[in-house]
Chain A
């Protein structure tokens, strides 16, 4: 457990993806079975046991420490698991008599079989045996709150690296595997054959698109491409297959392969034909696609109430067909898959699943016009839910990842405002010596005249050269330092105006301004513009009004 804790500890601080991979593969290489398998399970969210409630942890520490000291400590640390891990009193036993700390395997297997009433005593014993980091990791594990910035995909990629395998290979067999993954590691280390995926409804690694630049068009022939709308929903893979008993098993996966079937039980009955659809999850009301803000009401729900299902009816709009019954279509060219998809959707004949239409065009100019005005190019009343267009090569097979030159995304122009840089904070990793996280604000009228109110934070969108320029500006124009944050001069005639692009707005009680942006980034530096000419909060409120009327409708 201590070695696993050390890994979690290091991962929690490491910002770089490649370095995280190194740490993970190093661990998988160094630690034997079955511990490493349970670690992989913990990191991919594949462990299931009843989690301990924070209340239980509080009771344990309350019985051991002074209430006032705990209160002061918790205030200082700010995280329950961490506070308890740090202040847990040393066990009173003689050093030579101490039992060895538990292994990760012991912890996981014990937790799986432990009765609820036995949990407190067992946790106490482990907390006595582990060191600070070990206790922290144990508490994160048993409360189910790992949050260390590792995706399941990254953990699988690190495991694949052990045998120089493509992570997609692991992804393909993953649904058929279970902790502690002895067969997986045996294959990765060349000691056994590749495990067979017996999952009736497995996930297929997703194909992604590159953002197209103006300069790309001159090298592309419109005749080679099919265009379709890019819907502003959630990209999903809906898979149905027959299990050993001939029953249909249906699953919905996120684009990273996370099983999200549980959040959308209302879609499951519609997935009754064996096959794998690549599509977009949307909310439809009376046949009309609702905005992303509306769809958001259905995301990350633990409990899906009948009311929620009724008010936010879920819908799947199909882009592609990766599997049709037993046959794998991924090697076929897109144009052929599209024909198969059209037949499949027709045969399915389900009101919850429809076909995403293609956008006819003969030249890039025609497509430019369609993208600028989707309403008159076939999207009709759903035009507001169109995020842009997708271009797919007619002859492209379905390839995992983001292969070059196959698929392009061409988004509609984002919302843009001019805001004033207010605060800057240093970045992480390679950027730790640069001020690269920016809080920006817009003007609003207050009793004491016009003031800037923060409306968002952005830490990308700029070029390396622009980063250097902003960094220099921040260092030379700091008015105050507050911990890691620098207050940067922001007055009517002194300061830096940032052009901020974003995808949408939401009302947010957590922000002083009352609004929150989706996906904000710095699109341009406006050295030419005096701060007093930056945008006002009223502008954002108008944009917000336009968006929220859809939710209430």
Chain B
């Protein structure tokens, strides 16, 4: 038998990353027989697969979003647990992206490929920290794959938000944040910063936020914003899906300060384009320094780069003597931009 090459183990296809020897796809974008899911964001976790293998949290989130029958069958896997599928072994490791997010290590013979999904190496009170997994081939995201993206300390950004609340006590602060992960992280960071007033939630965030709380993540007092009077919302903080902050829904707030928690907020033109008044650079993706440090630390000699700014990251890898190529996968995006339309228009 000829020696196995990495692309014999994992190959990009129209359905997503396919592992032929293991008989499964990772984060497939179309329904497949057997899917391994890295995390619960809708561009990675879709409904309609035959069998789904994921962490318990990811399965729960899919169930919350798609209903009980989102897949033919499901199997939960813990971090560190190893399972044999066909001719390969798979193992899930924490990715530090959102609650339940995982990197998937696929090993065949003596080659180990890590499909990291979305990840970040920055601290996050709402999920298990990123684990570095040594491997031969590392598949990395490149959402923030440009050296201008340096996220800094999220705690500083939350301090900026609280300073604004103190300066404008008669205005409402409306924080746009992706409803899975980012919103809960912002709330947890507010609590860490000592903010103990109730935090208000847009209707679209309630279910997932309460799920986080049920998993033992301390988020303090939460209140639905629906039914609140305008005057009562002065001086409060409300979390809402990004699209809702510029929607008719936002008219219920007294002179709102529109904030947006996202790594994109690092770039002014981008923040201004969205009509954001208080950009908060808080990201659940690794920034440039995080991406490059992680790539180097895995010891991988070959890097496959997907969704985002592939060119810059591939260039960087090559300049470090690493084999690198962009991986042609379609259907993944930055979750901040792919937020489903909010329910606000109907509510208003």
Whether the Cβ atoms of B248 and A433 lie closer than 8 Å is: yes
Say yes or no: B152 contacts A132, CB within 8 Å: yes
Q: By the criterion CB–CB under 8 Å, are B309 and A13 in contact? A: no
CB of A215 within 8 Å of the partner chain:
no
| Min CB gap A496→B, angstroms | 19
Q: CB-CB < 8 A to A426: which residues of B?
A: 246, 275
Q: How far is the CA of A57 from the CA of B233 in the complex (A)?
A: 46
Query: How far is it, in angstroms, between the C-alpha of A428 and the C-alpha of B316 when the chains are bound?
Result: 38
Return B18 CB to nearest CB of chain A, in Å: 30
Nearest Cβ distance between residue B204 and chain A, in whole angstroms?
Answer: 17
Q: Complex formed: what's the CA distance from A432 to B244 in Å?
A: 11
Select A86's contact among B249, B266, B311, beta carbons within 8 Å.
B266
CA distance A70 to B312 in the complex (A): 9
Q: How far is the CB of A64 from chain B (nearest CB, A)?
A: 10
User: Which A residue's beta carbon lies closest to that of B251?
Assistant: A433
Assess whether A66 is in contact with B316, with CB atoms less than 8 Å apart.
Answer: yes
Q: Looking across the interface, which residue of chain B has its beta carbon closest to that of A429?
A: B277
Inter-chain contact A86/B312, CB cutoff 8 Å: no
* A69 with B312: CB separation less than 8 A: yes
Query: B245 — which chain A residues lie within 8 A by C-beta?
Result: 432
Please give me the residue from chain B that is nearest to A26 by CB atom.
Answer: B167
Cα-based distance from A14 to B167 in the complex (angstroms): 13
B147 touches A73 (CB 8 A): yes
How far is A309 from B315 in the complex, measured between Cα atoms in Å? 54
A347 interface residue (CB < 8 Å to B) = no
User: By the criterion CB–CB under 8 Å, are B146 and A73 in contact?
Assistant: yes
A95 within 8 A of B: no
Q: How far is the CA of A433 from the CA of B277 in the complex (A)?
A: 13
Q: Are A78 and B148 in contact (CB under 8 A)?
A: no
User: B residues 188-234 with Cβ under 8 Å of A?
Assistant: none
- In angstroms, Cα B168 to Cα A79, docked, is 31
Q: Is A484 an interface residue (CB 8 A)?
A: yes
B1 sits at the interface (CB 8 A)? no
Q: Which residues of A contact B316 (CB under 8 A)?
A: 66, 69
Does chain B have a CB within 8 A of A217? no
Q: Does B272 contact A (CB under 8 A)?
A: yes
Q: Which of A14, A15, A22, A68 contacts B315 (CB 8 A)?
A: A68
Q: Are B146 and A131 in contact (CB under 8 A)?
A: no
> B150 to A132, Cβ gap below 8 A?
yes
Most buried by B among A19, A78, A427: A19
Contact across chains for B147 and A22 when beta carbons are under 8 A apart:
no
- Is B148 in contact with A86, judged by CB distance below 8 angstroms? yes
Closest to B259 in A: A13
Q: Which of A10, A90, A432 contacts B275 (CB 8 A)?
A: A432
* Chain B minimum-CB-distance residue to A471: B248
In chain B between 122 and 167, which residues have their CB closer than 8 angstroms to a CB of chain A? 146-150, 152, 160, 164, 167
Q: Is B268 an interface residue (CB 8 A)?
A: yes
Contacts of B277 in A (CB 8 A): 13-15, 428-429, 432
B267–A77 touching, CB < 8 Å: yes
CA distance A16 to B170 in the complex (A): 14
The answer to whether the Cβ of B181 comes within 8 Å of any Cβ in the partner chain is no
Q: Please classify the interface of chain A as helix (H, G, I), strand (E, B), loop, or mixed, using the class held by over half of its residues.
A: helix
* Chain B: interface size category: 35 or more
Asked whether B33 is an interface residue with its Cβ less than 8 Å from the other chain, the reply is no
Give CA–CA (A6, B152) in the complex, Å: 15
Taken together as a complex, chains A and B put the C-alpha atoms of A66 and B275 apart, in Å, by 33
How far apart are the CA atoms of A66 and B318 in the complex, in Å?
12
A69 touches B251 (CB 8 A): no
Q: Given A13-B277, A87-B148, A69 and B271 touching (CB < 8 A)?
A: no
Interface check A483, CB cutoff 8 A: yes
The 8 A CB mask of B245-284 against A (1 = contact, 0 = none) is 1111111000100100000001111011111111100000
CA distance A428 to B276 in the complex (A): 8
Q: Is A91 an interface residue (CB 8 A)?
A: no
Known contacts A73-B146, A132-B150; A484/B275 CB under 8 A: yes
Given contacts A19-B168, A432-B250, contact A77 B148 (CB under 8 A): yes
CB neighbours (8 Å) of B149 from chain A are 86
B146→A72 contact, CB < 8 A: yes
Query: With an 8 A cutoff between CB atoms, is B319 at the interface?
Result: yes
- Chain B residues within 8 Å of A72, by CB: 146, 309, 311-312, 315
Contact check, B269 vs A79: say whether CB atoms are below 8 A apart.
yes
Within 412-435 of A, Cβ neighbours of B (below 8 Å) are at: 426-430, 432-433
Q: Contact: A132 with B266, CB < 8 Å? A: yes
Residues 52-91 of A at the B interface (beta carbon under 8 Å): 65-66, 68-70, 72-73, 76-79, 82-83, 86-87, 90
Which residues of chain A come closer than 8 Å to B150, judged between CB atoms?
A: 86-87, 132
Q: B311 CB to closest chain A CB, in angstroms?
A: 6
Which residues of A have CB within 8 Å of B312? 68-69, 72-73
A375 within 8 A of B: no
Q: Which residues of the partner chain B approach A152 to less than 8 Å between Cβ atoms? A: none
- Interface pair A430/B255, CB less than 8 Å apart: yes
Cβ of A12 within 8 Å of any chain B Cβ, yes or no, is yes
A47 contacts the other chain (Cβ, under 8 Å)?
Answer: no
| Chain B residue at minimum C-beta to C-beta distance from A82 | B268
Q: Given known contacts A13-B279, A430-B255, A433-B247, is B269 in contact with A69 (CB within 8 Å)?
A: no
- CB atoms of B146 and A76 under 8 A apart: yes
Could you tell me the distance between the alpha carbons of A90 and B268 in the complex, rounded to whole angstroms?
A: 21
In angstroms, how far is the closest chain A Cβ from the Cβ of B340?
A: 14
Q: How far, in whole Å, are A19 and B164 apart by their CA atoms in the complex?
A: 11
Minimum CB distance partner of B279 in chain A? A13
Cross-chain contact B251 with A12 (CB below 8 angstroms) = no
Tell me, rounded to whole Å, the shortest Cβ–Cβ distance linking A8 to chain B.
11
- B246 near A433 with CB under 8 A, answer yes
Whether a CB of chain B sits under 8 angstroms from the CB of A23 is yes
Are B147 and A87 neighbours in the complex by a CB distance under 8 Å? Answer: yes
Contact status A69-B315, CB under 8 Å: yes
* B:273-308 near A, CB below 8 Å: 273-279, 289
> How far apart are B273's CB and chain A's nearest CB, in angstroms?
5
- Neighbouring B residues of A83 by C-beta, 8 Å: 148
Contacts of A13 in B (CB 8 A): 271-272, 276-279
Q: Please give 13 more A-B residue pairs, beta carbons under 8 A apart, in addition to A76-B146, A78-B269, A132-B150.
A: A12-B268, A15-B277, A19-B168, A68-B312, A69-B146, A69-B312, A70-B147, A72-B312, A73-B148, A86-B148, A87-B146, A433-B246, A433-B247
- 15 contacting pairs across A/B (C-beta < 8 A): A10-B278, A23-B167, A66-B319, A68-B315, A69-B146, A70-B147, A73-B148, A86-B148, A132-B152, A428-B277, A432-B258, A433-B248, A433-B250, A484-B273, A484-B275
The 10 closest A-B pairs by CB, nearest first: A86-B148, A87-B147, A432-B275, A73-B148, A433-B250, A72-B312, A13-B277, A87-B148, A73-B146, A68-B315
